[in-house]
Amino acid sequence: MAEPRDGLVVVTGGAGFIGSNIVLDLAQAGCRVVVVDHLRSGEKWRNIATAPLHDLLHPAALFPWLEAHQKSLAAIVHMGAISSTGETDIDRIVTTNIRLTLDLWQWCAAHSIRLIYASSAATYGDGSAGFHDDEDTAALARLEPLNAYGWSKHLVDRRVNDDVAAGRPVPPQWAGLKFFNVYGPNEGEKGDMRSVVSKIIPIALSGGTVTLFKSHHPDYPDGGQLRDFVYVGDCVAVVRWLLQNPEISGLFNVGTGIARSFADLAAGVFAALGRPPRIGFVDTPANLRDKYQYFTQAEIGKLRAAGFRNDFRSLENGIRDYIEQYPVGLR
């Protein structure tokens, strides 16, 4: 299985959380990587500062650049998105999450370029319809995302599925990755949308008390709400595997397949730091209760059947790996 070293790999959102980890991995493997992202005036650039890049583009320059370099392209890995589940500017979500993704989809189909794009477990809504990465049209229609972010990802998945089912032109390889609760290095630029692991680490380091949401569901204890927490390095491994196997296409869940509680997560952080746990509970905000998920767990049988054999890190091992990479001056 060869890396796509003979062509350029474009990573949109390449300075962001998941995107930067993909960029660092591919660049280290010897791929010629082109990052597309907004860097603005913050510290986001540091996420890719150590990577030997082939090129770096502002998103506004993307399509002219693609037209000029189409014969040199191997694949596009599209991670760029408005990822906030609380975003209220729906036009902004449409422009960034829907319009850009569908424009890339159509461009890749027209120019026979491979496309891997980020979908989300947010497409599953409250989970009442299950967490199966089914490409059946009726199964997709049953999903009801709880917010505009999840809706935007779901709309793209349905359009992609419709094109495939109808026999319309599609990229030679395509994959929509339904990421579950991802955590790991380079989260800082996500602000309040960073993972709970990221939020807990500095509190635990300072000797403070970590606060988790109380349960407002009779089947779950306080802190017992369950999520499929997946380490970003394992998400990167899925992307790398797809780039190594251009014959594989489809919608795929990316999670461990094992749900763990927020209490487990908090305890794992304290244990990795060698400190006694200090955990308290606060009420879930009233405006979130009707949209709050108490259980998510990726069904990963389809990914396994397609040939992905890597083990996913346990929550405890992922947290330890994350903390080992945490800035030394903050530990």
The CATH number given to whatever domain includes residue 266 is 3.90.25.10
Examine the domain organization and report whether 151 and 270 are in the same domain: no
pLDDT at 82: 94
Examine the domain organization and report whether 140 and 276 are in the same domain: no
Q: Is 149 annotated in the active site? A: yes
> Does 124 score more than 60 pLDDT?
yes
Cα 215 to its chain centre, rounded Å, is 26
Catalytic residue among 190, 199, 214, 302, which?
190
Distance (Å, rounded) from C-alpha 231 to C-alpha 20?
14
234 part of a folded domain: yes
Residue 177 structural domain: 8-182+228-257+297-314
Q: What is the pTM of this model?
A: 0.96
Q: Are 250 and 300 in contact (CB under 8 A)?
A: no
Average pLDDT for 34-60: 96
Rg from Cα positions in the chain: 20
Examine the domain organization and report whether 19 and 143 are in the same domain: yes
Average pLDDT for 85-105: 96
Q: What is the DSSP letter of 98?
A: I
pLDDT at 3: 59
**Helix/strand/coil for 197:** helix
pLDDT at 329: 45
Catalytic residue among 44, 117, 124, 149, which?
149
The pLDDT mean for the chain works out to 95
Q: Is 190 annotated in the active site? A: yes
Average pLDDT for 168-196: 95
Residue bearing the bigger pLDDT, 71 or 288: 71
Question: Which tokens in the block code for residue 131?
Answer: 């967490």
2 part of a folded domain: no
**Helix/strand/coil for 46:** helix
